Structure 1
Amino acid sequence: MKIQRLTTENRPKVYALLRGAFPSSDYEAALVQKLHDNGRVIHEWVCIHTGKAIAYIAFTNAYHGRDICGLHLAPMAVAPEFQGRGVGSELLRFALRQEAISSQPLFVLGEPGYYSRFGFEPCRVPICPFDKNNAHFLSMRNATATSFVVGYEPEFTTAAAPTGTTRSRKRGRR
């Protein structure tokens, strides 16, 4: 297994991985493809095993108004046949050590029990527009004291509408 920055050549493999990891939703694959198509800044890595993308993680800008205030971790996915083997944990730990990520405030909308193992904590402010009461909104290195609604890249709302009400599923995590 090799972790590497995502290349243009590996993008189709990542889109296929996202469709397989989130079988009831096209949202994640559509989101990442739109982010790529629109030239958004994405810090992203992929795990390649025998020529196949088996895990993926992405970080996009988080906004306070027009100002960047950190990064959103989304999406993160592991191929179903590799889940439960620590691949996602290894990829997340790797990403958290990277220079572009290691000193930034980070936000994630996901399963608290999973992400808390990596240092994410419940987030009261800023407010996540996709999570009523911030029940699944977590942060790391967040020193925000004022309340505001955190912004996402526009592709998060223009990608195909997500199905279901939770942001983490057995088949993949965001």
Structure 2
Amino acid sequence: MKIQKVTEETRAKVYALLRAAFPGSAYEADLVQRLHENGRSLHEWVCLHTNKAIAYLAFSPAYHGKEICGLHLAPMAVAPDFQRQGVGSEILRFALRQEPIRSRPLFVLGEVAYYKRFGFEPCPLPICPFDKNNSHFLSLRNENSDSFIVGYEPEFKTAAKSPGPPGKKRR
């Protein structure tokens, strides 16, 4: 297994992985493809095994108005054949050690018990527009006390419409 930054050459493998990891939803693959096509700033890594993408995660800017206030972790995916084997944990731990990830406030919309293992905590503020009551919205290094709706890149709203919030793994 090798974890590396996503390149032009690995993008098609990432899109295929996202489609396999989220069956019945094109949202995640379409989201990442649109972020790439529109030249959005992403910090993203892919885990390759025998030249196949088996895990992926990305961080994109989180906004307070027009100012960047941190990074959103979304999406994160592991190939079905490699789930529950520690691959997702490995790529996430790797990413959390990288610059600029390791020093920025991070936000994620996902399974609370899973992300708590990595230091994420329930996040009452800012407010996530995709999660009623912020019940699945977590943060790491978030010292924000202002009440505002955290912003995402516009592609999060314009990617293919699918049920469920972006970044939240559906099982």
TM-score category by the smaller chain?
over 0.9
CA–CA distance in structure 1, aligned partners of residues 149 and 165 of structure 2? 19
Partner residue of 1:105? 105
Q: Which SS does the other structure have where 2:148 is aligned?
A: coil
Q: Which SS does the other structure have where 1:81 is aligned?
A: helix
CA–CA distance in structure 2, aligned partners of residues 35 and 109 of structure 1? 18
Partner residue of 1:168? 169
CA–CA distance in structure 2, aligned partners of residues 165 and 12 of structure 1? 23
Q: Which SS does the other structure have where 1:44 is aligned?
A: strand
Q: Which SS does the other structure have where 2:18 is aligned?
A: helix
Residue 126 of structure 1 aligns with an amino acid whose one-letter code is P
Q: Deviations over 1:18-50 (max 9, x none)?
A: 000000100000000000000000000000000
CA–CA distance in structure 2, aligned partners of residues 156 and 100 of structure 1? 22
Q: Identity, % of aligned pairs?
A: 72
**Could you say if the C-alpha distance between residues 165 and 62 of structure 1 is closer, same or farther in structure 2, counting changes exceeding 3 Å?**
closer
2:73 is equivalent to residue 80 of structure 1: no
In the superposition, the TM-score normalised over structure 2's length comes to: 0.97
Shift of 1:162: 2.4
CA–CA distance in structure 2, aligned partners of residues 104 and 145 of structure 1? 16
In the superposition, the TM-score normalised over structure 1's length comes to: 0.96
8 A Cα contact 2:131 2:165, kept in partner: no
Instruction: Report runs of 4+ in structure 1 exceeding 4 Å deviation.
Output: none
Shift of 1:100: 1.3
Shift of 1:99: 1.1
Partner residue of 2:157? 157
8 A Cα contact 2:15 2:32, kept in partner: yes
Shift of 1:163: 1.8
8 A Cα contact 2:130 2:165, kept in partner: no
Give the RMSD, CA atoms, in angstroms: 1.0
Shift of 1:165: 6.0
Partner residue of 1:48? 48
**Could you say if the C-alpha distance between residues 122 and 25 of structure 1 is closer, same or farther in structure 2, counting changes exceeding 3 Å?**
same
Give the alignment of 1:1-174 within 5 angstroms: 1-164=1-164, 167-170=168-171
Shift of 1:164: 3.8
Structure 1: which 5+ runs fail to align?
A: none
**Could you say if the C-alpha distance between residues 96 and 15 of structure 1 is closer, same or farther in structure 2, counting changes exceeding 3 Å?**
same
Q: Deviations over 1:61-110 (max 9, x none)?
A: 00000000000000000000000110000000000000110000000000
CA–CA distance in structure 2, aligned partners of residues 45 and 100 of structure 1? 13
CA–CA distance in structure 1, aligned partners of residues 140 and 164 of structure 2? 26
CA–CA distance in structure 1, aligned partners of residues 75 and 50 of structure 2? 23
Q: Which SS does the other structure have where 1:99 is aligned?
A: coil
Residue 89 of structure 2 aligns with an amino acid whose one-letter code is S
**Could you say if the C-alpha distance between residues 146 and 165 of structure 1 is closer, same or farther in structure 2, counting changes exceeding 3 Å?**
closer
